[in-house]
Structure 1
Amino acid sequence: MAVCEVCNNDYEMAFEVRAQGAVHVFDSLECAAQKMAPTCTNCQCRILGHGMQADGQFFCCAHCARQQGVGQLVDHA
């Protein structure tokens, strides 16, 4: 069995995620998202969908980007 690196659960159905040359072990998608998903610079929610990025900052939507002074991002063209 493998131990989840977020909750330390020793689980027979744990899985590995390989990203940027590192291997991570999780017991659930919830733990994987907690560790791997970026957070919005403005509201700090986890970005699980397509999100947006500008100047090294991540945003969940254009509204949050505008709140941080990034006006060039739009939700829909």
Structure 2
Amino acid sequence: MAVCEVCKNDYELAFEVRAAGAVHVFDSIECAAQKIAPICDNCQCRILGHGLQADGQFFCCAHCAREQGFARLVDHA
């Protein structure tokens, strides 16, 4: 069994995620999101969808990007 690096649960169905050259072990998608999902630079929510990026900043939506001065970014329709 493997131990989740977020909650420390020793779980037989744990899985590995390889990201940015590192290997992470999690027991759930929730723990994986808490560890590796980016955080919106405006509202600080976890970005679980595509999100938006500008000048090295990440945003969950166009509204948050506009709040930080990136008027050119728009959500996909």
Class of the TM-score when normalised by the shorter of the 2 chains = over 0.9
* 2:55 matched residue in structure 1: 55
Deviations 1:24-74 (A, max 9, x none): 000000000000100100001111011000000000111000101111101
Q: Gaps spanning 5+ residues in structure 2: where? A: none
Distance in structure 2 (CA, Å) of the matches to 1:75 and 1:7? 34
Q: One-letter code of the match for 2:36?
A: M
What is the RMSD computed on CA atoms of the aligned residues?
A: 1.0
| TM-score after normalising by structure 2 | 0.95
Distance in structure 2 (CA, Å) of the matches to 1:50 and 1:60? 8
* 1:30 matched residue in structure 2: 30
Q: Per-residue deviation at 1:76?
A: 3.6
Distance in structure 1 (CA, Å) of the matches to 2:11 and 2:69? 44
* 2:10 matched residue in structure 1: 10
- Ranges of 4+ aligned residues in structure 1 off by more than 4 Å: none
Whether 1:65 aligns to 2:65 is yes
Whether 1:45 aligns to 2:45 is yes
Using the aligned pairs only, state the percent identity: 84
